[in-house]
Amino acid sequence: MHNNSSQKSTQIAVIIVAAGRGRRAGAGLPKQYRDLNGQMVLSRTLKCFAGYDGPIVAAIHRDDRLLFEQACVGIKSDIQYVIGGKTRTASVKAALAALRPHAPDIVLIHDGARPFLRSQTIEAVLNGLHDHTAVVPALPIVDAVKTLDGTSVNRDDLRRVQTPQGFHFSKIMQAYEKIGNNADFADDIEVAKNAGLSIGFCQGDQENIKLTWEEDFMTVPPMISRVGSGYDVHKICPGSSLFLCGVQIDAGFSLLGHSDADVGLHALTDALLATIAAGDIGDHFPPSDPKWKGENSTVFLRHAAQLIADQGAIIDHVDITLICEQPKIKPHRDEMRARIAEILNIKLANVSVKATTTEGLGSLGRGEGIAAQAIASVRSPR
């Protein structure tokens, strides 16, 4: 998963609970496989964790194998699934058993029908696990609360809980092993409480809603299309090879730059940042910082993609034009497209790479450098 300074040695796994039928959401496909602004709900949920490195296991219904495969397209190739049980508790228990060979330190358990999760909530849960064995994101209740007979309830003692709920893996595994096969708990925190685990609360997110009713789909705001452009140029310098669009090419020369000088990925990173008005590559990775000297530009592109995902946006299409006399791009174009599609977790059909020359005109025509321009389009809920 994301390896920030506090989590470098910690293996974190994810369970997605998606075995339900979603009948409260009305007729049609189970809600986790329905269309949500041009993308499956479950696809959007899985993408919330696409920037993380740990194992992901989804608990699904036995009839949904093909739908699940569709939901995983363009996200991660190694997402496992298990057949869920009759209850949420049974489904999570099966997924935990599938994770046992991975022996993760921490597991995050998330509802498949919560597609608007942002990284800030994930990080809050992970931080809370430094002090507790179990952590749940929660929100205060602002409305007055009463029982059905009209008795008032102190809302200060209540919280609306969300997912992902985080746990020390060995502890929650033991807690689930102790409960019966027919046990039916409301959520995983209830299982943790039943086992006497230390439970902490962290800040939830109003946008992290669970799609439950048919009207929930109707009230999701429409996606707004945004387009960004980027441009970069680097001088040619002595060397044997260079990187272009994430592919190393033995060109007989190199490009001069603070990082690996990949003009294609630099231009594309700027284009993606532009779609969310997040500045440019220099704002996030200043060339004055020695930390980024010689850095692989895939790091920059992944960062831009994660910022976009954090806003609940979807990358629709990217297009790069390389401007150079040498090297010849066509022999490497398919590999470049595949590399970019892999980095961004999008379909190959949504990546375009092409090249042109300046017909010998100007510094690029004289072979003094290589330039790239890029255009990216995303759909954003805001």
200-254 pLDDT per residue, tens: 999 999 889 898 877 767 666 667 889 999 999 999 999 999 999 999 999 999 9
Domain contains 114: yes
pLDDT at position 382 over 70: no
Quote the mean pLDDT of the chain. 90
Q: What is the pLDDT of residue 25?
A: 56
Tell me the C-alpha distance between 323 and 325, whole Å: 7
Q: What is the pLDDT of residue 351?
A: 97
pLDDT at position 18 over 60: yes
What's this model's pTM, rounded to 2 decimal places?
0.66
Q: What is the pLDDT of residue 3?
A: 45
Residues 180 and 38 in one domain: yes
Tell me the C-alpha distance between 69 and 26, whole Å: 23
Q: Tell me what the mean pLDDT of segment 173-186 comes to.
A: 93
Tell me the C-alpha distance between 173 and 99, whole Å: 10
State which residues form the domain around 368: 224-380
- Asked which of 185, 218, 251 is the last residue of a domain, the reply is 218
Domain contains 2: no
Q: What is the pLDDT of residue 24?
A: 64
CATH of the domain at 90: 3.90.550.10
Tell me the C-alpha distance between 223 and 336, whole Å: 29
Asked if 315 and 346 count as a contact pair (C-beta separation under 8 A), the reply is: yes
| pLDDT tens track for 243-301 | 999 999 999 999 999 899 999 999 999 999 999 999 999 999 998 888 898 899 999 99
Residues 24 and 167 in one domain: yes
The token pair at 186 is 């409301």
DSSP 120-140: HHHHHHHHHTTT-SEEEEEEE
Domain contains 228: yes
Tell me the C-alpha distance between 71 and 132, whole Å: 33
Q: What is the pLDDT of residue 1?
A: 43
Asked if 278 and 312 count as a contact pair (C-beta separation under 8 A), the reply is: no
Residues 210 and 98 in one domain: yes
128 Cβ contact list (under 8 Å, min separation 6) = 135, 166, 200, 201, 202
Domain contains 4: no
- Asked which of 218, 247, 267 is the last residue of a domain, the reply is 218
Residues 197 and 298 in one domain: no
Alpha carbon distances (Å) from 294 to 132, 218, 272: 39, 48, 22
Asked if 126 and 2 count as a contact pair (C-beta separation under 8 A), the reply is: no
